[in-house]
Structure 1
Amino acid sequence: MVSALSHIREIERVAMGRPSNRDRPVIQSWLRCLNDYQLNPARPQEAYIVPATQLREHREQSEELIRIGRTGLEGLFRQVADQNYVLLLSDARGVTVEFMGDPTFDNQLRKAGLYLGSEWSEDRAGTCAVGACIVSEKPVIIHQDDHFDACHIGLTCTAAPIFDTFGDLSAVLDISQLRSPTEKASQQLALHLVASTARRIELANLMTRAREDWVLRLARLPDFLDVDPDAAITIDGNGMITGMTHGGFGAVARSMNQNTVPTRDFIGKPVSDIFDIDIDQLPALMRGRPNGERMVRARNGLALFASAIAPVSSFRTPSTIIPARLPAALRHLSFGDPAMEALQARAAKLADRNLPILIRGETGSGKEYLARAIHDSSARSGPFVAVNCAAIPEQLIESELFGYAPGAFTGAMQKGKMGLIEAANGGTLFLDEIGDMPLALQSRLLRVLSENEVQPVGALRPKPVRFRLLSASHRDLAAMAAEGRFREDLLYRLNAATLTIPPLRQRRDFDGLVDHLLRRHGEEEGETITIDLAARRALARHDWPGNLRELDNTLRVAAAMATDAAITAECLPEHFQAEALPGGGQVDNEALRRQLGECGNNVSELARRLGVNRSTIHRRLKRLH
C-alpha cells in the first residue's frame, strides 16, 4: 500500500495536468473533489455516519426498494461473504440504507465507513465507488489509492447504479473489502456480480410496478430469456413504452446504434418506433412457443429474443390519471398522455428534494411552466425567479445575474443593483436556455453553486445565497460539453435529475390540451368557446414545430376571429386548412380509410408509408371516427 504522502503528491500532479495511469473515472473524480468540492487531500476525514433520526428517514424513503431487492441482495452477499466482502446499498444521496457484513468486524467496519448509515457522497467522502457511481451513473471500481481521502486508501470498493423505471437513479449497490490483493484487476469479477445484481433488482422493481402494462423481456441469447433477461420494457395498451430496466436496456440500445440517446428518452415512444412489433403482436411472444422462436427485430436490423408477459389487470385508459396523488400545480400538465403521466410522477417525487433538475424539451414545449409547477409543488416559501439566458444581451447578462456594487462601472446605478441570483435566495432560480450562457459566466455560476455565495460585479465580498436550481435547454448540453462549448463540470451540477418533455406532435392527449386551453381562454374573456370537428381535424394535421406555445397562440387568434365564440376551420390561419398528410390527399374519412385498407388495416404499415408516427395515425383516426 502506498504512503499517504506519496498519494497526496500524486493528486497534486494530476491537479497540475500531468499524465497519470489512473482510470479516467478516477481522474475525473479527483478533479471534481479538488475543483468542485474544494476538498484537501492533505486533510483526511474519517468516515461519517449520519445520526439515527436522519438514517431512519433515509431508510423509510428506500423501504420499498429494499423489500423488492431483498432476495437479490442476500443472494449476492452469499456469493461474496467468504471473501470478506461487505454489502452496502446506498440511496441516491450516498447514505447506506442497507448493510450486510460479518458482525465479528463491526467496529473495524464502522470506523472504515463500511456500515449502516455511512455517507459516501463524493462531496463529503471524496473519490469513492458509491460517490463516483452517483455522479457518472455507471458501474465503477475504486481500488485502494484510487480513493481521494488517505483514510480510505486501504479499501477496495465496487459499485453499480440502480435506476427506477423512469430512468432516475434510485440507489447504488456496493461490495467492499477492508483489505484486498494489490491488483485492481482482482475486482473485475466483483464488478460483474454487482452489475448483474443491480440489473436483476431493476427487473424485480419493473415487474412489481407493471400490473397494468405488458412486460417485454429481451435477450441476445434464448437460454435465460424468461429468468434473467438482458433488459425489459413495459408497454401500455396504446403501444407506448412506459418504463424499462435502464441499466440493461442501455446495453441493448448501444447494440442498436443508439449510443447517444439516454434510455429515459425512449419512454413515451411507440414500441413500433424501436422494434418491428405492434401492441397486437405481443401475445404471439408469450410462453407456449420455444424461446428460440420468439424474436423481435430492432429498426437497425438487430435481432433479439423476446418474451412477453400480459398485464395482470386490464389496460389503463388515458382518462384514468389519478390527480389526487399529484400536487395541484402538476395536475394539469397532462390529459392522458403516457409520457407526460410518467413525467408528472417523476416531478412529484423530486419537487421537495433539494436536487438540481435539468428540463429538456423543444422550444415552446412548456419547460418554464413545468419549472414553476415544481416550485409551487415544493415546500419552499421563497420566490420563483426565471431568467432567460438567451434573451439577455451578452454584455448585460453578468450584471443581471450577479448584480453590481455602487459605482462598479460607468452608468451603474448609484445604489448598485441586486442580481437575479440573489433575488432567488430562499426560493427557486430557473435558468432557461442555459445552453446560451457564455462560457465565462458558466465558470462564475459553477462557483456560486459550489460555495453557496454570489459576488456582485465590483463588490469586495461575496454574499451567502441558498436556492433551488432548475434549468432548461432545447440544446443537447452533453454534445456541447464534448465539443468544449459547455462546461462539463457545470453539466454535472445541473442534471442531478433530468425531466424530458415530449414534443406536442408525439403527445396522445391533443384533444384534451385543446379543450383545456379553450376553457382557460374562455374564462379570461368571460365566455364559452367551442370548436367544431373540421377545425379540430385541421389542427390535428399540423406538426406543431412551435409546440404548446404555437397551439396556444393559434387558439387565441382563432377565438378572436370566431363568431359567437364558435371556432370553425375558417377561423384558423390558411396553412392549417391546406395542410395534408405526407403521401398526398387531404385528411378525410374516405382517403384515410382507403389508405388503411390498402395496408391490410395495419396502422404501423400505414404510418411507415406516410412517414409519420404510429401515434399520429391513431390520433387522426380517433378524430375522424
Structure 2
Amino acid sequence: MNARSYASHVQEIESFGLGLNRGTPARDAAVLRSWQRCIERHRLDPAATCEAYIVPEGQLRVHREESEPLIRIARSGLERLYQQLAGLQYVLLLADRHGITVDFLGHEGDADALRRAGLYLGSDWREDRAGTCAVGACLEGGEALIIHQSDHFDYTHTPLSCTAAPIYDHRGELAAVLDLSLLRSPESRSSQSLALHLVTSTARRIELAHLMERSRSDWVLRLSRSPDFLDVDPDAALTLDGAGRVRGMTQAAARILAQAIGLPWAERRDLLGLPLERFFELDVDGLPSLLRHRLAQDRIVRARDGSILFAHAIEPQRGSATPVRDATPAPSATTTATTTPVPQALRALSAGDAHLDALLHKAARLAPQRLPVMIQGETGAGKEYLARALHAASGRPGPFVAINCAAIPETLLESELFGYLPGTYTGGASRGKTGLVEAAHRGTLFLDEIGDMPLHLQAKLLRVLSESEITPLGARQPKPLDLRVISATHRPLTVLVDQGLFRQDLLFRLNAAQLSLPPLRQRQDLDALIDRLAEAQRPGLRPTPEARALLRTHGWPGNLRELHNALCHAAALSEGPCFGPEHLPETVLEASAGLPQTVATMLPRLPAPPLEPPPHVSDATDPEDPAGPADPAMALERLLQRCQGNVSEAARLLGVSRSTIHRRIQRLALGERRVRWSPADRRD
C-alpha cells in the first residue's frame, strides 16, 4: 500500500463527508452520490480497507439458480462482447439484483489475481459491503456509469477500473448488472468511454432477448430513432396483449413511454396495463400496418409528446395468441397450487415430501407479496432457509438481513437493531452505526426467535413497522424505510401474549400469513434428504443399509441441523464411498439402541401434520391427564415414545405446558422406564 496515496484518498473522502469539497468537478456526480450513501446510509469508514468477499458455494448456487433464465439468455451476449475485447485484459461480470456475480468471463491465467480483486464468480459487490463500486452504484442508481480507480470508496479497489450498465426485466425492475472491469488501466478516466458504450449496448440487447423470450404469445413493438437498424438492432421494444395494453418493456422503451405522457421515469411500473393509444397516435388495430413487409422508413409512429419514431411490429406466434389479460398478473392467495410455479430457491427445500410441497406452493404465492410472514417450526427445522428462499423469490432488490433475537445480548439489542448517531454512546463507533433494521431497506428483514425480543423493543419495532420509518438512537428525524418482514419462532406466541410477554398488536402485525414447517421425523422425504446431504459432504457418499436404518429410526430433535451434523461426522470418519453405523455420532446410536423395535419401525411412517398447527386440547380435558384415554400411563408412555422422550414436543402436540407433562410422569411413576428411550429429553 502506498501510504501517501492512501492518506490522500482517505482525506478527500473525509473532506467530502464534512461538506468541504462537495462541488468539486474532479469526480462524476454518480461517484459523489455513492460516496454520500457510503458515509450517511451505510456508515462506512474510508480509512478501513476490506478485501473482496466471495460468497460460499452453497449461497452462490442459490443465486445462480434464481438467475438461471437470465444467465442462459445473457451468455451469448457476454461471449460476443468478450471476443470483441480479446487481448485487452477486460473481465466481464454478470451480477444479480443482490450484487452477487453469477456469471464471469476472464483470462484463466489471471484467476488468482482476479479472485483477490473480486473480479470473479461469487464476488459480492453490494455498495453497503464494498463501498463505491460500479456494480453497487449501478444497483443503487439504476444508471450506467464508470467507477475509475480512485473513484472507489475503499482504497483496496482503487487499482481497478469498472464500467457497469443495468439490465431491467420486462416489468421495469432492475434484474442484473453487466460489468466490464480491468485490473490495471490507463490513468485517464476517459479511456473507459468505449467500455461504457459497449457494456450499455450489450445490456440493451440482453434486455431485448429476454423480452422476446417471454413474449411469444404477445404483440412485440420494436422502436428506433432511425430506420437504418430498426429491423436488426432496435433501440427499444415493448409487448402488448390482445387488447393493445402494455405487458412488458425494455428500459429504453420505458423511458420513451414515460416521456410520451410526462410520467417520471421512477414511476415506470405505472406504465404496465395502459393502452398503446395512451402513448402513440396508434392503437392495436394499427399494428399490422407496421409489419416488416413495408419499408422501415415508411413505418412511422408519432408519440403523444410529438416525437417521431420508426416501428416494427411482430405478430404473436401462431397458435399462441391469448385472450385479453391483466398486464400485471401478480400471484394471489386464491391461485391454486397447481397453477403457481414454485421458484427454484423454494423447490430446493423439499426432496419429495407431500406436506412440505404443499407448503412451498403456498410460499410461492406469498413470496412476491409484501405481507409479513410468520414461520413456525422446531429448532433446526429450516426456518431461516425458508426465509432466505422467500426473499430470493420475492424480487426485492435489497439485501436479506437476519437477526437472531435470542443470540444478541439484551443490552446491545436496541443499538444493533436500530443503530445510533455519532456521540450517542461513550465508546461507540465514532461515525455511529447503521442498525440492522435500516440495513434491510428495500430488502427483507428476518427476525428469528422473535418470541425472545424484550417488550420495550417490541413497542419500538411495532412503530417502525406501522410508520415505515426508523429513528436511530440519538436522532431527531426519522428515515423512510421500505422492507418486508419475515419472523420465525419455535415458541407459542399466543401463549406468550396471554402471559403478557409478547404484544398482541405486534403479533397481529407480524402474523399476516403463517407457514408451519414440519419436523424432520414427520417428513416423507427423509431418505432423499439423507442422500442429498451426504452427496453434499462428499460426491458419491451413501449410508450402508444398517446406517440408513439407524438414521430412519432416530427422532431428530435437532431436525435438519442435527441430520447435517450427523452426516458431517460420518463423512469425516469414513474413508470409502459408504459409511456405516460405526461412523455415526454416539447420540444417534444411543437413541436408536434404547428404542423398542416396534417404535423404531413406526417412527419413519408417522402421518404428516395438517398445514395448520394442531388444535389445543379442549378446556374440558383434565390438565393432569393430558393423554386422555382409560389407561393414561400407557397412553402417555406411547406419546413420549413417539416424541423420543422430548417433553417439549409432547406438550406442544397436546397444547399443554411442559410442567404438566412432568407432573404426570411423576404421578404415573414413568421415570425409571423413560431412561430406556428418552435420550432426547436430556437435551430438552
TM-score, structure 1 as length reference = 0.56
Matches within 5 A, 1:268-417: 268-312=273-317, 313-318=319-324, 326=331, 328=333, 374-375=369-370, 380=375
The change in CA–CA distance for 1:209 and 1:462 in structure 2 (over 3 A counts) is same
Matched residue type, 1:316: T
CA distance in 2, matches of 1:70, 1:244: 21
Deviating more after overlay: 58-67 vs 19-28: 19-28
Structure 2 unmatched ranges of 5 or more = 348-364, 378-412, 418-431, 448-453, 470-476, 485-684
CA distance in 1, matches of 2:55, 2:78: 22
Matches within 5 A, 1:154-303: 154-250=159-255, 253-254=258-259, 258-260=263-265, 262-303=267-308
Matched residue type, 1:450: E
Post-superposition CA distance 1:145-177 (Å, at most 9, x none)? 100111000000000000110011110000000
The change in CA–CA distance for 1:321 and 1:105 in structure 2 (over 3 A counts) is closer
Which position in structure 2 is the counterpart of 1:73? 78
The answer to whether the Cα contact below 8 Å between 2:258 and 2:271 also exists between their aligned partners in 1 is no
Which position in structure 2 is the counterpart of 1:143? 148
Pairing 1:8–2:10 present: yes
Which position in structure 2 is the counterpart of 1:115? 120
CA distance in 2, matches of 1:249, 1:376: 28
CA distance in 2, matches of 1:468, 1:102: 52
The answer to whether the Cα contact below 8 Å between 1:162 and 1:247 also exists between their aligned partners in 2 is no
Matched residue type, 1:11: I
Which position in structure 2 is the counterpart of 1:450? 438
Cα root mean square deviation, aligned: 4.3
Matched residue type, 2:6: A
The change in CA–CA distance for 1:308 and 1:12 in structure 2 (over 3 A counts) is same
CA distance in 1, matches of 2:117, 2:462: 34
CA shift at 1:81, angstroms? 3.0
| DSSP-derived class of the 1:262 partner | helix
CA distance in 2, matches of 1:321, 1:244: 11
Matches within 5 A, 1:385-534: 449-450=437-438, 494=482
The answer to whether the Cα contact below 8 Å between 2:31 and 2:132 also exists between their aligned partners in 1 is yes
TM-score, structure 2 as length reference = 0.51
The change in CA–CA distance for 1:322 and 1:43 in structure 2 (over 3 A counts) is closer
| DSSP-derived class of the 1:206 partner | helix
Matched residue type, 1:315: A
CA shift at 1:266, angstroms? 1.4
- Percent identity, aligned pairs only? 47
The change in CA–CA distance for 1:158 and 1:215 in structure 2 (over 3 A counts) is same
CA distance in 2, matches of 1:373, 1:4: 44
The change in CA–CA distance for 1:140 and 1:329 in structure 2 (over 3 A counts) is farther
CA shift at 1:255, angstroms? 7.3
CA distance in 2, matches of 1:85, 1:57: 27
Larger Rg: 2
CA shift at 1:133, angstroms? 0.4
Post-superposition CA distance 1:451-503 (Å, at most 9, x none)? 6899xxxx9x9789999998999xxx9xxxxxxxxx9x956x6389xxxxxxx
The change in CA–CA distance for 1:188 and 1:319 in structure 2 (over 3 A counts) is closer
CA distance in 1, matches of 2:48, 2:147: 20
The answer to whether the Cα contact below 8 Å between 2:223 and 2:236 also exists between their aligned partners in 1 is yes
Pick one of 25, 34, 40 that aligns with 1:29.
34
CA shift at 1:203, angstroms? 0.3
CA shift at 1:263, angstroms? 2.7
Matches within 5 A, 1:563-582: none
The change in CA–CA distance for 1:469 and 1:186 in structure 2 (over 3 A counts) is farther
The answer to whether the Cα contact below 8 Å between 1:234 and 1:243 also exists between their aligned partners in 2 is yes
The change in CA–CA distance for 1:445 and 1:257 in structure 2 (over 3 A counts) is farther
The answer to whether the Cα contact below 8 Å between 1:330 and 1:374 also exists between their aligned partners in 2 is no
Matched residue type, 1:9: Q
CA shift at 1:374, angstroms? 2.2
Alignment coverage as a number of residue pairs: 392
CA distance in 2, matches of 1:471, 1:78: 52
CA distance in 2, matches of 1:269, 1:87: 37
Structure 1 unmatched ranges of 5 or more = 333-340, 353-369, 383-420, 426-443, 478-486, 497-625
CA distance in 2, matches of 1:218, 1:229: 6
| DSSP-derived class of the 2:369 partner | helix
The answer to whether the Cα contact below 8 Å between 2:260 and 2:305 also exists between their aligned partners in 1 is no
| DSSP-derived class of the 1:225 partner | coil
The answer to whether the Cα contact below 8 Å between 2:257 and 2:279 also exists between their aligned partners in 1 is no
